[in-house]
Amino acid sequence: MTTATAPAPTTATGASPHLLRWLLRLHRPALYVWTATVLVLAAALLWLGGPLTDAAVTGWRQYDACRGATTCAYDQDAILRYKDVYTYTTWAVLALPLLVAGWAGAALIGGELESGTAHLAWTQGVSPTRWLAAKLAVPGALTAVGTALLVVLHRRAWLAGEHGIDTAKPWSSLETFYANGPLPVALALAGLTAGALVGLARRRALAALVGGLSATLALWGTVQLAVPRLYPAVTTYTGLRHDGPAGSGITLDSGVVTADGTRVPDVFCGSAEYPRCRAVYDKLDAVGFYSTYHPSSHYWPLQWTGTGIVLAVAVLSAVAAFTLIARRTARKASTV
């Protein structure tokens, strides 16, 4: 059985270096895991954006050069390897906010309250609010720096293969859109504060783990549904001789327009040049196609809109956490 050593008292001017060292020592395994995760993913993304992309681009050039030939020799393994590594690293970057939220709830806050380590620190001259401030500030800085580094490397890797790999993910694909911008950084910080808030509320490691993960997943799902609808989209109209609704990007709605201006969901038939499709459109009294979507020029406005919303949630969660711990400790003090 080991005994936790409480940090030295802090002054009114700020957190003591002893408190920070104690925090890092107490959560040293988590620091090692986070550092290893960031380093491994960074190495994988550098490999993806360098040698893997070069090999895949060469493979596609070989494939394009021998189209129409009876036999074709191209490096299929390089193409498939690029696809696999891109998929795995992308989803790993997107999973970081969940990793942070689960750890914040279970170990950073909930576990310490359940084991009594937090209360021991409070009896040694560290106020609960200062304790919580250190708990959020140090992991928050490490989380932001690590996640931001991986996002930059992911975007670099995607840009390297954007025009040379025929099967490269477009900017508008769900996983690429979120892994290529600042949203994962904001989500990781929101996951940290949400996990801390749930940990303070539940004061049990397992309950805080589940609650932190659930809150972050709910926030992520809400962002995916809301952000494309919070920024004005573009609507284009085309004639029925086209193969379908036009417009490339994040599509919100598409279909056919009738003579009286009514919008009807897309019937996925194709151009009116085909007699069968012509009959379908005549039955609907359709006169053209429409598509409401976000083009590539909306990428950064969408990213910053979503990032602002998530950061606001992170700030509100942090404020709620400080309010909760202040009220609880004040209530306990009044009963003593």
More confident site: 16 or 31:
31
Q: Is 90 exceeded by the pLDDT of residue 120?
A: no
Question: Does 187 map to a domain?
Answer: yes
**Are both 152 and 199 inside the same structural domain?**
yes
The span from the CA of 328 to the CA of 118, in Å, is 13
Q: What is the pTM of this model?
A: 0.84
How high is the mean pLDDT of the chain?
85
Average pLDDT rounded to a whole number, residues 285-308: 93
DSSP state of 234: E
Q: Is 70 exceeded by the pLDDT of residue 42?
A: yes
Instruction: At 265, list the tokens.
Output: 């969901």
Q: Is 80 exceeded by the pLDDT of residue 16?
A: no
**CB 262, CB 228: distance < 8 Å:** no
**Are both 101 and 210 inside the same structural domain?**
yes
**CB 284, CB 267: distance < 8 Å:** yes
The alpha-carbon radius of gyration of the chain (Å, integer) is 26
Q: Is 50 exceeded by the pLDDT of residue 144?
A: yes
**CB 127, CB 216: distance < 8 Å:** no
Query: Residue 330 has what pLDDT?
Result: 65
More confident site: 18 or 280:
280
**Are both 140 and 43 inside the same structural domain?**
yes
Question: Does 14 map to a domain?
Answer: no
Query: Residue 12 has what pLDDT?
Result: 37
**Are both 200 and 280 inside the same structural domain?**
no
**Residues spanned by the domain of 183:** 32-231+307-335
Question: Does 183 map to a domain?
Answer: yes
**How many structural domains are present in the chain?**
2
**CB 146, CB 41: distance < 8 Å:** no
Question: Does 216 map to a domain?
Answer: yes
**Are both 75 and 115 inside the same structural domain?**
yes
pLDDT band at 154 (very low <50, low <70, confident <90, very high): very high
Question: Does 251 map to a domain?
Answer: yes
Query: Residue 269 has what pLDDT?
Result: 86
Q: Is 70 exceeded by the pLDDT of residue 15?
A: no
**Are both 265 and 168 inside the same structural domain?**
no
More confident site: 304 or 112:
304
**Are both 262 and 313 inside the same structural domain?**
no
Query: Residue 89 has what pLDDT?
Result: 96
Question: Does 13 map to a domain?
Answer: no
| Phi, psi for 238 (deg, rounded to 5) | -135, 160
Query: Residue 11 has what pLDDT?
Result: 42
The span from the CA of 151 to the CA of 130, in Å, is 31
Residues 6+ apart with CB under 8 A from 270: 243, 244, 277
Residue type at 160 in one-letter notation? A
pLDDT band at 184 (very low <50, low <70, confident <90, very high): very high
**Are both 133 and 199 inside the same structural domain?**
yes
Average pLDDT rounded to a whole number, residues 90-109: 89
pLDDT band at 129 (very low <50, low <70, confident <90, very high): confident
Closest C-alpha to 252, from 279, 267, 232, 270: 232
The span from the CA of 163 to the CA of 213, in Å, is 37
Residue type at 83 in one-letter notation? K
Residue type at 180 in one-letter notation? N
**Are both 92 and 156 inside the same structural domain?**
yes
Query: Residue 14 has what pLDDT?
Result: 43
Query: Residue 314 has what pLDDT?
Result: 94
Query: Residue 70 has what pLDDT?
Result: 64
**Are both 117 and 257 inside the same structural domain?**
no
**Are both 220 and 320 inside the same structural domain?**
yes
**DSSP-assigned states of every residue in 142-193:** HHHHHHHHHHHHHHHHHHHHTTT-TTPPPTTSHHHHHHTSSHHHHHHHHHHH
Chain segment 313-332, per-residue pLDDT in tens: 999 999 999 998 888 776 65
Chain segment 101-113, per-residue pLDDT in tens: 888 888 878 887 8
pLDDT band at 303 (very low <50, low <70, confident <90, very high): very high
Average pLDDT rounded to a whole number, residues 218-238: 91
Average pLDDT rounded to a whole number, residues 55-66: 83
Q: What percent of the chain has pLDDT over 90?
A: 42
**Are both 158 and 279 inside the same structural domain?**
no
Question: Does 250 map to a domain?
Answer: yes
**CB 96, CB 184: distance < 8 Å:** yes
pLDDT band at 68 (very low <50, low <70, confident <90, very high): low
Half-sphere exposure (CA, 13 Å, Cβ side) for 147? 29
Average pLDDT rounded to a whole number, residues 95-105: 89
Q: Is 70 exceeded by the pLDDT of residue 335?
A: no
Question: Does 11 map to a domain?
Answer: no
Average pLDDT rounded to a whole number, residues 50-78: 81
